[in-house]
């Protein structure tokens, strides 16, 4: 009687799949110019006369080298620049499906120049690129005269970023990065300078099921079936 009930619990335990979840980390705190590509991302409303620059700076980071950023635009309106890391990517069709992403970086607002009113901050967020399309998500700011600010954008799923993204095992190569942004409701030319350091993306892979091991739902049904058999045996006894 008790033997059958106990066997059900043991069977479920022995057949439990390896549910370990691996992570892949891509990061950069050096920011060699050849490892990054940048371009403007259309935004509405956007300012006019948009331009930006982004280059490695050998000192002054958090610590040491970092990537400087300059935004220039004529308000009212704004500017968004996408910065894509070309030094490494992730291919779900080869490396496995992704459940979600965690991004982090240190951002700084260095100074403001030009006519108009200072926007007082620079915005940062996560960037994901796949199949020639670029998507941004998350929002955090570094305030003027606020020094280095640590920002994080966590638990980003494909669905929360864009329906066009594919994190499944059928998805193509994905590249990652960050975006920077400024905006102002005031007219005049605005120029802000800032920087990024200690950029990182953590790719949380979908748990793998060992070959030949039943999926969790199958195990639940198996355990329930064994328990029923135990109960039937108990009634016969």
DSSP per position, 32-71: -GGGEEEEE---SS--EEEEEEEEEEEEEETTEEEEEEEE
Beta bridge partners of 66: 57
User: Whole-angstrom Cα distance, residue 104 to residue 42?
Assistant: 24
- What is the structure's pLDDT at 165? 98
CB atoms within 10 A of CB 159: 10
Residuewise pLDDT in 10s, the chain (237 residues) = 222 222 233 233 233 334 467 999 999 999 999 999 999 999 888 989 999 999 999 999 999 999 999 999 999 999 999 999 999 999 999 999 999 999 999 999 999 988 777 889 999 999 999 999 999 999 999 999 999 999 999 999 999 999 999 999 999 999 999 999 999 988 999 999 999 999 999 999 998 755 454 444 433 433 444 333 344 344 445
Maximum C-alpha span of the chain: 92
Element (H, E) at 214: none
Q: Taking a C-beta distance cutoff of 8 angstroms, is the pair 73, 48 a contact? A: yes
According to DSSP, residue 144 is labeled B
User: Whole-angstrom Cα distance, residue 155 to residue 138?
Assistant: 10
According to DSSP, residue 232 is labeled H
Element (H, E) at 158: helix 158-161
């Amino acid at each position: 009687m008790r033997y059958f009930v106990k066997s059900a619990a043991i069977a479920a335990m022995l057949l439990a799949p390896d549910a370990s979840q691996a992570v892949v980390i891509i990061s950069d705190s050096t920011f060699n110019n050849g490892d990054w590509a940048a371009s403007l991302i259309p935004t509405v409303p956007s300012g006019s006369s948009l331009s930006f620059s982004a280059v490695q700076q050998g000192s002054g980071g958090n610590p040491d080298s970092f990537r400087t950023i300059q935004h220039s635009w004529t308000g009212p309106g704004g500017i968004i620049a996408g910065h894509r890391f070309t030094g490494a990517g992730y291919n779900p069709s080869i490396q496995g499906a992704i459940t979600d992403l965690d991004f982090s970086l240190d951002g700084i607002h260095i100074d403001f120049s030009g006519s108009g009113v200072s926007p007082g901050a620079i915005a940062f967020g996560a960037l994901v690129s796949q199949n020639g399309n670029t998507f941004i998500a998350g929002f955090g700011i570094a305030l003027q005269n606020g020094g280095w600010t640590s920002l994080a954008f966590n638990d980003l799923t494909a669905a929360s970023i864009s329906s066009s993204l594919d994190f499944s095992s059928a998805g193509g190569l994905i590249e990652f990065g960050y975006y920077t942004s400024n905006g102002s409701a005031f007219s005049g030319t605005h120029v802000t300078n800032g920087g990024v350091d200690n950029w990182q993306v953590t790719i949380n892979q979908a748990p793998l099921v060992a070959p030949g091991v039943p999926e969790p739902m199958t195990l639940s049904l198996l355990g329930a079936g064994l328990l029923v058999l135990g109960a039937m045996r108990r009634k016969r006894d």
